[in-house]
Structure 1
Amino acid sequence: MKAWGKTLDPSGSSGIRFLGDPSLAFTKALDLSFDGASIFGGDRSKRYALLIEDGAVKEAHVESDNTGLNVSAADKVL
């Protein structure tokens, strides 16, 4: 995530925070994980983007197929 953030927002001025969740703790708390054992070897995060303002989730963009880019891509969210 750090490298992705540096590439997409090198100056850090966009206001976008790039966060990882390697243990899936946050993802599971939001019920946004799925059983990907047959493909990925274990639980995985659904593909999603959250719009958060002042610490509150204002919008959740969750891919219905778990991995696509139909609603969670930056051009759909911003």
Structure 2
Amino acid sequence: MKAWGQTLDPAGTLGIRFLADPTGAFTKALDLSFDGSAIFGGDRSKRYAIVIEQGKVKSVAVEPDNTGTNVSTAEKVLGPA
């Protein structure tokens, strides 16, 4: 996540926090995990985007097939640039 953040926001000015979830605890607490054993070897996080403003969840976009990019891309969550 650190490398991704440095690549996408090298100056750290976008106001986006890049957070890792190495144990899956956050993902499981949100009920956004799925059994990916057949492909990935264990539980995985569904693909999702959460917009938080001033500490409150404004919106959540969860991919219906867990891994696609139909609803969770930046353009679809935040609108066109």
Range into which the TM-score falls when normalised by the shorter chain = over 0.9
Q: Which residue of 1 aligns with 2:17?
A: 17
CA positional deviation for 1:53: 1.1
Which sections of structure 1, spanning at least 5 residues, go unmatched?
none
Count residues in correspondence.
78
Q: CA deviation at 1:19?
A: 0.6
TM-score by length of 2: 0.92
CA-based RMSD of the aligned residues comes to 0.7
Aligned to 1:77: 77
Gaps of 5+ in 2: none
> What's the TM-score once normalised by structure 1's chain length?
0.96
**What's the CA shift for 1:34?**
0.2
Identical-residue share of aligned pairs (%):
74
Residue 75 of structure 1, CA deviation? 1.1
Pairwise CA distance, 1:77: 1.2
